[in-house]
């Protein structure tokens, strides 16, 4: 559960940078949607943890996930304008693809409680998938045609 929370927090960290730097209305829309969704996902996860009487304490894997996101955040902070928009969308596509793989290959295979399984399949996965579709659409618009 702590790893899932950190995955949401990583996405939220990207949106904090993007909220100040996104230049187009479609980029700003993606950022707002991601911020709203991942905040709500964390709130749902907190409710499940409380119901199960589980403390969400960071662990080696969640901290590694956070640390691995730092170079991506640093690279975004160094950009502005269209270059930022393009880089942010690339990060969003990559991170959402990675999260979907983690959900399918790791989280769903190891989850033991029905409430957490439902969270993964009914809440987290559909939201991450929808964000990926929107980010891929924007990526195709921002990528120069050859």
Q: Which residues contact 137 (CB under 8 A, 6 or more apart)?
A: none
Structurally, the chain folds into a number of domains equal to 1
Q: What is the mean pLDDT of residues 72-86?
A: 94
Residue 146 lies in a domain: no
Residue 34 lies in a domain: yes
Q: Of the ranges 21-25, 34-38, 40-44, 139-143, which one carries the lowest mean pLDDT score?
A: 139-143
Q: Which residue has the higher pLDDT, 142 or 118?
A: 118
Is 144 a residue whose pLDDT tops 90?
no
Q: What is the mean pLDDT of residues 40-54?
A: 95
pLDDT averaged over every residue in the chain: 93
Residue 143 has a pLDDT of: 75
**CATH number where 78 lies:** 1.20.1260.10
Contact 66, 9 (CB under 8 A): yes
Residue 84 lies in a domain: yes
Residue 142 has a pLDDT of: 85
Global pTM? Answer: 0.91
- Summarised one tens digit per residue, pLDDT across range 127-138 is 999 999 999 999
Structural domain containing residue 32: 2-141
Residue 104 lies in a domain: yes
Kindly indicate the confidence band of residue 52, based on its pLDDT and cuts at 50, 70 and 90: very high
Spatial distance between the Cα atoms of 13 and 20, rounded to a whole number of angstroms = 12
Per-residue three-class SS string for the chain = CHHHHHHHHHHHHHHHHHHHHCCCHHHHHHHHHHHHHHHHHHHHHHHHHHHHCCCCCCCHHHHHHHHHHHHHHHHHHCCCHHHHHHHHHHHHHHHHHHHHHHHHHHHHHHCCCHHHHHHHHHHHHHHHHHHHHHHHHHHHHHCCCC
Closest CA to 124 of 101, 95, 91, 100: 100
Residue 7 has a pLDDT of: 95
**Residue 23 φ then ψ, to 5°:** -110, -25
Which SS3 state, helix, strand or coil, does residue 98 take? helix
Residue 26 lies in a domain: yes
Q: How far is the first Cα of the chain from the last one, in angstroms, to the nearest whole number?
A: 44
Q: What is the mean pLDDT of residues 107-120?
A: 93
Spatial distance between the Cα atoms of 95 and 92, rounded to a whole number of angstroms = 5
Q: What is the mean pLDDT of residues 66-88?
A: 94
């Amino acid at each position: 559960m702590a790893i899932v929370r950190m995955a949401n927090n990583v996405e939220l960290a990207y949106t904090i940078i993007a909220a100040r730097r996104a230049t187009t209305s479609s980029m700003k829309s993606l950022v707002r949607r991601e911020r709203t969704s991942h905040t709500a996902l964390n709130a749902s996860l907190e409710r499940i943890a409380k119901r199960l009487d589980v403390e969400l304490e960071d662990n080696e894997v969640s901290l590694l996930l956070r640390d691995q996101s730092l170079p991506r955040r640093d690279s975004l902070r160094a950009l502005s304008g269209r270059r930022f928009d393009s880089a942010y969308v690339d990060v969003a596509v990559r991170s959402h693809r990675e999260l979907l793989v983690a959900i399918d290959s790791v989280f769903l295979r190891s989850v033991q409680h029905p409430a957490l399984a439902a969270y993964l399949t009914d809440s987290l996965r559909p939201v991450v998938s929808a964000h990926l579709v929107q980010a891929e659409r924007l990526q195709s618009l921002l990528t120069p045609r050859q």
